[in-house]
């Protein structure tokens, strides 16, 4: 038996409990919705290259008389699509592992000069082929505590974009240390990013409208991986861009000093 006062207290307690519980569930609900969105976006992205492959294979199957030479264009498209699929699956795996905290960083003393040098080296041929001048001004001993493989991946993502979204001109890579941090700049003279798109370029699957249908465009996952790698090194990134003029990515990674 409880009196009217007791009943009011019980109702208040139940309401308060419900209120607190619903508040506690909001982040879980949000995380769940984000996860659902991720799965749905990922499936959509996987479907596109798969349907290109299917259509081309069906056409080839219908014309067995055609030679490999005659079908070389289709084969080349299919090879591009399989490459795209492979990259997409790798990126999805990286993000899924990161989300489930299975991606441990292996931090050691690393020299950013060597990492950037090897990334620049890897892109030299492609730049030359596109007629783009790729230059690097790298301080020789910029050491930080970091994961060498992940940092390599970070610079590949930003460099790959610089090259993808630049038709002519130059790409400059710059590395300096200033006491507590290493500063890296990757600047291109490419298509640039519209002001309204700038806050969204690090979102998963985001692609600016004008690159959405370009052949060289990726899945929009690269920069979300780049952002995670920078944050996992307690660093920061700042992007400046002028449409049709170019883009500069400024990355700051703490712990940089010249020994």
Binding footprint of ligand ADP on the chain (CB under 6 A): 157, 161-162, 165, 188, 190-193, 201, 206-208, 211, 217-224, 247
**Partners of residue 238 on adjacent β-strands:** 250
Q: What is the DSSP string of 215-252?
A: TT---S-HHHHHHHHHHHTT-EEEEEEETTTEEEEEEE
Tokens standing for residue 212: 């959405």
Beta carbon nearer to ligand ADP, 220 or 235: 220
CB of 162 to ligand ADP, least distance (A): 5
CB of 249 to ligand ADP, least distance (A): 7
Beta carbon nearer to ligand ADP, 84 or 143: 84
Beta carbon nearer to ligand ADP, 218 or 256: 218
CB of 81 to ligand ADP, least distance (A): 15
Beta carbon nearer to ligand ADP, 192 or 235: 192
Alpha carbon 68 to its chain centroid, in Å, reads: 36
Residues 6+ apart with CB under 8 A from 159: 119, 120, 123, 171, 173, 186
CB of 85 to ligand ADP, least distance (A): 14
**Residue that the structure tokens 């620049």 belong to:** 120
Element of type H or E holding 184: strand 181-188
CB of 173 to ligand ADP, least distance (A): 12
Beta carbon nearer to ligand ADP, 109 or 200: 200
Residues 130, 164: contact at Cβ < 8 Å? no
Residue nearest to ligand ADP (CB): 218
Residues 18, 24: contact at Cβ < 8 Å? no
């Amino acid at each position: 038996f409880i009196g009217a006062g007791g009943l009011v207290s019980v109702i208040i307690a139940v309401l308060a409990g419900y209120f607190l519980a619903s508040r506690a569930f909001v982040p879980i609900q949000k995380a769940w919705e984000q996860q659902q969105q991720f799965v749905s976006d990922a499936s959509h992205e996987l479907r596109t290259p798969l349907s290109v492959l299917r259509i081309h294979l069906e056409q080839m199957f219908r014309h067995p008389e055609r030679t490999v030479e005659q079908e070389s264009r289709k084969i080349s498209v299919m090879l591009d699509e399989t490459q795209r699929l492979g990259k997409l699956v790798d990126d999805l795996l990286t993000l899924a592992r990161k989300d489930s905290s299975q991606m441990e960083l292996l931090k050691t003393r690393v020299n950013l000069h060597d990492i950037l040098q090897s990334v620049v080296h890897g892109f030299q041929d492609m730049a030359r082929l596109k007629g783009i001048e790729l230059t690097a001004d790298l301080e020789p001993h910029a050491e930080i505590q970091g994961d060498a493989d992940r940092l390599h991946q970070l610079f590949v993502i930003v460099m790959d974009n610089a090259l993808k979204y630049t038709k002519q001109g130059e790409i400059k890579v710059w590395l300096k240390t200033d006491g507590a941090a290493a500063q890296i700049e990757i600047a291109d003279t490419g298509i640039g990013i519209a002001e309204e798109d700038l806050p969204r370029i690090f979102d998963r699957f985001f692609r600016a409208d004008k690159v959405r249908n370009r052949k060289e465009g990726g899945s929009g996952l690269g920069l979300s991986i780049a952002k995670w790698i920078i944050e996992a090194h307690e660093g920061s990134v700042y992007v400046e861009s002028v449409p049709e003029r170019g883009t500069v990515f400024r990355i700051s990674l703490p712990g940089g000093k010249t020994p």
